[in-house]
Amino acid sequence: MDLLTGSLGDKILRFAVPLAATGILQQLFNAADIAVIGRFVGKHAMAAVGSNAPLIGLLVNLFLGISMGTNVVVARYIGEGNEANIRKAVHTAIVLALGGGIVLTVIGEIVTSPILHLMGVPPEIYDLSVLYMRVYLTGMPVILLYNFESAIFRSRGDTKTPLFCLTISGLINVALNVFFVVVIGMTVNGVALATVISNLISSALLFRFLLKEEGPVRVEPGRLRIHTDVLRLMLQIGIPAGIQSTVFSLANICVQSAVNSLGADVMAGSSAAFNIEIFSYYILVSFGQACTTFVGQNYGAGKMDRCKRTLRLALLQDLAAIAIVALLVNFFGVQMLRIFNTDPAVAKFGMIRLRYIVTAHLFSVFVETISGAMRGYGFSAYPAFMSLFGICGIRIFWVYTVFSRNPVFDVLMMVYPVSIGVTAAAIAAVYFRVTRTKLKEVRSA
């Protein structure tokens, strides 16, 4: 897709829709993992798989942020027409993904047991949790490789190829889940092994496509090495994004602990609502990632007007998409919640969460798209800093002050629109200051 010339609105939509579909599809495949293990092994095995989600997030978020830095750097070099640096960035990214995955595997194997203890995993599921993580961690190199390869494809406007590879590997994942668990009789290690194999397949497919590419994004095995100048730029943009995601995880763990204090009905309703709202989240972040790529290329080409138009159009499209989601939740939320549980109390508390979260997502549109645009300019630290204090700081403060004085679910859920609304205003203010500076730089160049 040519991001530097022609219309923008249709291209942003064509970029964002496959990206959102990729996230949603991945979530559906994750749900299939839980369904197979819960139905054929039992609730303890199901709980063991779920208990590892926060730990997995803490381990991989930093490198996923660095993959976003890869997206920005390659997109900028494409905009500049700098083929030599594109090649350096692509080959650096591949080596970084594999090396980072090996490091995460080693670190994860060391810290899994003590962290699961600190998380208070119950004794009856502890051994299963450790078993799942031991197997899952062996797939870290290919998990990171898929994400970095996807970032390379996104940087040139291609979000369909990663979706195609994920679809193939995801269907294989579901089939392997059934084979390992139902046919062979494995437990959580079977689900973890299926995940590792499916990620190996998706990353291998993308690697094969990169080997066959024409032009500077083509991977040539003999050129695979780290280029320190490009790596420095990737880390400069990617590390703040990764830290932002990691701190989000910590803040949300704090909120979840408050949810747990309100009883089983609230916990069940909140959990059911999360499985619905996550699809809305994938939609809204896809437009933010579109901003990152479009702005990265056009800024590299010195086309500031297209950068600003990208943000305006992405904001409008993202708001329209989330408004549709809000209408669906308002009219069909109870029916969707009953898919997970038919208890009226679960539906009641689930709807409370959904309404607050959908309201918060309207503010998140501004946070994600503006943050995406700023990363495209290379200013990844600003949104990370704003989010650290605006979202994470407010959530932790709210739980231990406002909620502790009035421990009601509505009061707790109010933290989402409040924290995201404040952050959206702060990020918008910083964005206008940054773009004024960048516009002067481009005009004087």
pLDDT in tens, 283-339: 988 999 999 999 999 998 889 889 999 999 999 999 999 999 889 988 888 888 887
281: how many CB neighbours lie within 10 A of its CB? 20
pLDDT digits (tens, 9 = 90+) for 231-258: 999 998 888 888 877 777 777 777 877 8
> Is residue 236 in a domain?
no
Are 213 and 245 in a shared domain? no
The answer to the question of residue 235 being in a domain is no
153: tokens are: 């494809």
Contacts of 51-56 with C-beta under 8 Å, sequence gap 24+, read: 51/116, 51/119, 51/121, 51/125, 51/129, 52/116, 52/129, 52/132, 52/133, 52/136, 54/119, 54/249, 54/253, 55/112, 55/115, 55/116, 55/119, 55/133, 56/133, 56/136
Domain assignment present for residue 216? The answer is yes
Number of domains in the chain: 2
- Same domain, residue pair 50 and 163: yes
Dist CA 74 CA 153 (whole Å)? 9
Is residue 50 included in any domain, yes or no?
Answer: yes
Same domain? 213 vs 254:
no
In 10 A of CB 244, how many CB atoms?
Answer: 23
Q: Last residue of a domain, which of 226, 250, 278? A: 226
Distance separating alpha carbons of residues 19 and 196, to the nearest angstrom? 22
Could you tell me if 135 and 33 lie in one domain?
Answer: yes
Q: Residue 177 corresponds to which tokens in the numbers above?
A: 């889940």
| Residue 197: inside a domain | yes
198 and 254 housed in the same domain: no
Whether the pTM exceeds 0.75: the reply is yes
| CA 41 to mean position of chain CA atoms | 29
Looking at 226, 261, 296, which one is the last position of a domain?
226
Quote the CA–CA distance of 151 and 144 in Å, as a whole number: 11
Instruction: Report how far residue 72's alpha carbon sits from residue 372's, in angstroms, rounded to the nearest whole number.
Output: 10
Specify whether 190 is located in the same domain as 247: no
Give yes or no: residues 177 and 292 share one domain.
no
Amino acid at 173: N
CB 296 within 8 A of CB 72: yes
The distance from CA 303 to its chain's CA centroid, rounded to whole angstroms, is 28
Same domain? For 280 and 393 the reply is yes
Per-residue pLDDT of the chain (445 residues; tens, 9 = 90+): 788 899 999 999 999 999 899 888 887 887 777 778 777 887 677 667 766 766 777 778 778 888 888 998 999 999 999 999 999 999 999 999 999 999 999 998 898 888 777 766 777 778 888 899 999 999 999 999 999 999 999 998 899 999 999 999 999 999 999 999 989 989 889 999 999 999 999 999 999 999 999 889 999 999 999 999 999 999 988 888 888 777 777 777 778 778 877 877 887 787 778 778 888 888 988 999 999 999 999 998 889 889 999 999 999 999 999 999 889 988 888 888 887 667 888 889 889 999 999 889 999 999 999 999 998 888 888 888 888 888 888 998 999 999 999 999 999 999 999 999 999 999 999 888 877 776 566 555 5
Q: Is residue 326 part of a domain?
A: yes
Backbone torsions φ then ψ of 107, nearest 5 degrees: -60, -45
Instruction: Say whether both 216 and 323 belong to one domain.
Output: no
Rounded distance between C-alpha atoms, residue 344 and residue 340, angstroms: 12
**408 in the same domain as 298:** yes
Residue 121, judged by CB atoms within 10 A of its CB (0-12, 13-18, 19+), counts as buried
Residue 48 lies in a domain: yes
Q: Shortest CA distance to 88 belongs to which of 102, 100, 103, 70?
A: 70
Burial class for 197, CB neighbours closer than 10 Å (0-12, 13-18, 19+): middle
Domain span at residue 20 reads 1-226
Question: Looking at the structure, do residues 209 and 282 belong to the same domain, yes or no?
Answer: no
Look at residues 173, 195, 226 and tell me which one is the last residue of a structural domain. 226
344 shares a domain with 220: no
In a domain, 387, yes or no: yes
